[in-house]
Amino acid sequence: MAAQGKEMKLLGSHKSPFSLRVEIAFNLKGLGYELLEETWEKSQLLLESNPIYKMIPVLIHDGQPICESMMIVEYIDEVWARTNTSILPSDPYDRAMARFWAKYIDDKVPPSLRIIMGLLPGSEEEAVNQILTALQLLEKAFEKCGEGNDFFGGETVGYVDIALGCYLGWFKAMEKMNGFTILDESKTPLLVGWANRFCSHDSVKGVMPEVEMLIEFNKKVRDKLNVAPAN
């Protein structure tokens, strides 16, 4: 088993919502880490550390690689369980529900977001509608799970907050590029307030990517894939 005090390296990118999840988890726990920025050309270390999927993020802790963003978040929560902040709920039912909503988010949001970004074929209108439908369900989930608190996790950022909040920068970038609204105060007022609190949280505000950087990155990726720019 990896020792708690050993050096940690994160193979990831400032532009990746999945890497952002891990960085937020580190910050919540007050842990130091080294971010090794991956580029379009994947490093040999990444290929060796995640030979199955060859994707970021990968946490290397004491020489041992851990893959998949939410699995890394859980690993961090378990290894540093004695810190003041718990990412997953302590109650078994609440913990199961947090995992359920995190999986729902990843089932619905990333494929639709990639279509809107022009990285996958499909109808932009249908992709936007799928995200909006998911957010309306999450609005209801937040009302129930949050129980009047600021976050899904209660008084501070937790598991579901990390799962959804990592996409907020890309939501804003796509809104600016395409001229539509994803988080609409008239439809999801609770999530709009939640999003503002999430982005202002100490664990988040220093690592949330700038919208203009994401827009420029999306343009470069489109150029590499020879995809026409968004209208």
The radius of gyration computed from the CA coordinates of the chain, to the nearest angstrom, equals 17
- Residue 74: closest CA among 113, 116, 22: 22
pLDDT of residue 227: 63
In the sheet with 58-61, reading across from the earlier edge strand, the strands are: 34-37, 8-12, 58-61, 64-67
DSSP string, 33-75: -EEEE--SS--HHHHHH-TTT--S-EEEETTEEEESHHHHHHH
Structure tokens at 137: 């369900």
pLDDT of residue 230: 52
pLDDT of residue 105: 98
pLDDT of residue 228: 57
- Residue 3: closest CA among 82, 60, 76, 79: 79
Q: What structural domains and CATH numbers belong to the chain?
A: 8-79 (3.40.30.10), 92-224 (1.20.1050.10)
Instruction: Give the number of C-alpha atoms closer than 13 A to the C-alpha of residue 206, restricted to the C-beta side.
Output: 8
- Distant-in-sequence, close-in-space partners of 87: CB < 8 Å, separation ≥ 6: 25, 28, 29, 73, 74, 76, 77, 153, 158, 159, 162
pLDDT of residue 144: 86
**231 residues of the chain, pLDDT tens digit each:** 345 557 899 999 999 999 999 999 999 999 999 999 999 899 999 999 999 999 999 999 999 999 999 999 999 999 999 877 899 999 999 999 999 999 999 999 999 999 999 989 999 999 999 999 999 999 999 998 767 899 998 999 999 999 999 999 999 999 999 999 999 999 999 999 999 999 999 999 999 999 999 999 999 998 888 765 555
pLDDT of residue 4: 57
- Distant-in-sequence, close-in-space partners of 48: CB < 8 Å, separation ≥ 6: none
pLDDT of residue 5: 56
- pLDDT tens per residue, range 45-82: 999 999 999 999 999 999 999 999 999 999 999 999 98
Structure tokens at 60: 């290397």
pLDDT of residue 1: 39
What residue type is assigned to position 4 of the chain?
A: Q
pLDDT of residue 229: 55
pLDDT of residue 98: 96
